């Protein structure tokens, strides 16, 4: 990993939507500033409009134009994505198109969290170190991922689920969409005789999905369905950027120059 040269540097933290992601952004920004070593740094947040199928080239082009006008020719982009799925690749394509309108700049994009075996190990360690202190070793923990309804991200989540459960047999992972279904995990949780379950979002945001699908008041939320079986559920609203180990890893990836430029084919 080659450190960024000690000159003015711009870092763009990109999220989709925005509700509930502020605490993760703050954790990551704090880690970036700590690792920057006093180098000149322009740190910006950028929220892409929610919803798939949108053309974000205009808004991203404006952001790149503004940065270029300030003298930033090298821009690091970190998307707050867990897996290299549809939204990550759509962001890369959008950035590449936006770069065509802003000559003379180089834009590099950091990889999502679940991209390598090393980053997976970082995630497992950080997640388990960040468990609530009141959780007893024999109590169940369920991390709630987003997933994809067609299962396109299943392999990444399967790898994390396996690694988590190997490190802690009572730590589990299921997703709102895809092959790691709540139904299958629910049966396993009930068969193991747990009395108390901790629910944590495996997402940057603690907004809509966490407070509606994971632990909302509706009878079809995961919390409601487990409590209907007699279990005590304790939701923990903590975004991934709030885990020090994860924030530190993201910051390190952001401030190194080992990724290919998004301006280049790939």
Domain map of the chain by residue range? 9-112+243-254, 131-238
Question: Confidence class of residue 215 from pLDDT cuts 50, 70 and 90?
Answer: very high
Q: What's the count of helices (H) and strands (E) in the chain, helices before strands? A: 9, 8
Coil, strand or helix at 34: helix
User: Which residues does 20 contact at the CB level (< 8 Å), separation at least 6?
Assistant: 205, 206, 207, 208, 210, 211, 239
**Could you please report the per-residue DSSP string of 104-163?**
T-EEEEPPPSTTSHHHHHHHHHHHHHTS-TT--TTSEEEEEEEE-TT-TTHHHHHHHHHH
Per-residue pLDDT reduced to its tens digit, 32-42 = 999 988 777 88
> Pick the catalytic residue: 72, 146, 148, 209?
146
Q: Which of 6-20, 174-188, 251-265 has the highest mean pLDDT?
A: 174-188
Top-level class of domain 9-112+243-254: alpha beta
Do residues 106 and 77 make contact, with C-beta atoms less than 8 angstroms apart?
A: no
Question: Confidence class of residue 1 from pLDDT cuts 50, 70 and 90?
Answer: very low
Per-residue pLDDT reduced to its tens digit, 45-95 = 888 766 554 567 788 888 888 888 888 888 999 999 999 988 888 888 888
Active site residue 146: yes
CATH architecture of residue range(s) 131-238: 3-Layer(aba) Sandwich (3.40)
Distance CA 249, CA 233 (A): 30
Per-residue pLDDT reduced to its tens digit, 223-261 = 999 999 999 999 999 999 999 999 999 999 998 865 556
145 forms beta bridges with 175
Mean pLDDT rounded to a whole number for the chain: 88
Distances from the Cα of 77 to the Cα of 44, 128, 181, 242, angstroms: 10, 28, 32, 19
Do 9-112+243-254 and 131-238 fold alike per CATH? yes
């Amino acid at each position: 990993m080659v450190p960024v040269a000690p000159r003015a540097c711009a870092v763009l933290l990109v999220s989709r939507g925005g509700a509930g992601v502020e605490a993760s952004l703050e954790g990551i920004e704090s880690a970036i500033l700590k690792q920057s070593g006093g180098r000149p740094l322009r740190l910006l947040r950028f929220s892409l409009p929610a919803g798939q199928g949108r053309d974000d080239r205009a808004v991203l082009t404006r952001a790149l134009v503004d940065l270029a006008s300030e003298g930033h020719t090298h821009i690091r982009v970190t998307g707050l994505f867990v897996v290299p799925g549809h939204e990550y690749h759509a962001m890369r394509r959008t950035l590449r198109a936006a770069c065509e309108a802003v000559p003379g700049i180089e834009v590099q994009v950091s990889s999502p969290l679940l991209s390598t075996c090393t980053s997976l190990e970082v995630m497992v360690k950080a997640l388990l170190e960040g468990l609530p202190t009141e959780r007893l070793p024999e109590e169940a923990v369920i991390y709630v991922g987003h997933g994809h309804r067609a299962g396109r991200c299943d392999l990444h989540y399967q790898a994390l689920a396996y690694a988590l459960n190997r490190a802690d047999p009572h730590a589990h992972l299921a997703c709102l969409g895809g092959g790691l279904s709540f139904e299958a995990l629910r049966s396993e949780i009930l068969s193991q005789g747990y009395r108390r379950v901790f629910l944590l979002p495996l997402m940057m945001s603690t907004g809509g999905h966490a407070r509606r699908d994971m632990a909302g008041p509706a009878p079809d939320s995961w919390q409601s369905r487990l409590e209907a079986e007699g279990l005590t559920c304790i939701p923990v609203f903590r975004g991934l950027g709030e885990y020090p180990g994860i924030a530190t890893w993201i910051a390190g990836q952001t401030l190194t120059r080992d990724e290919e430029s998004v301006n280049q084919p790939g």
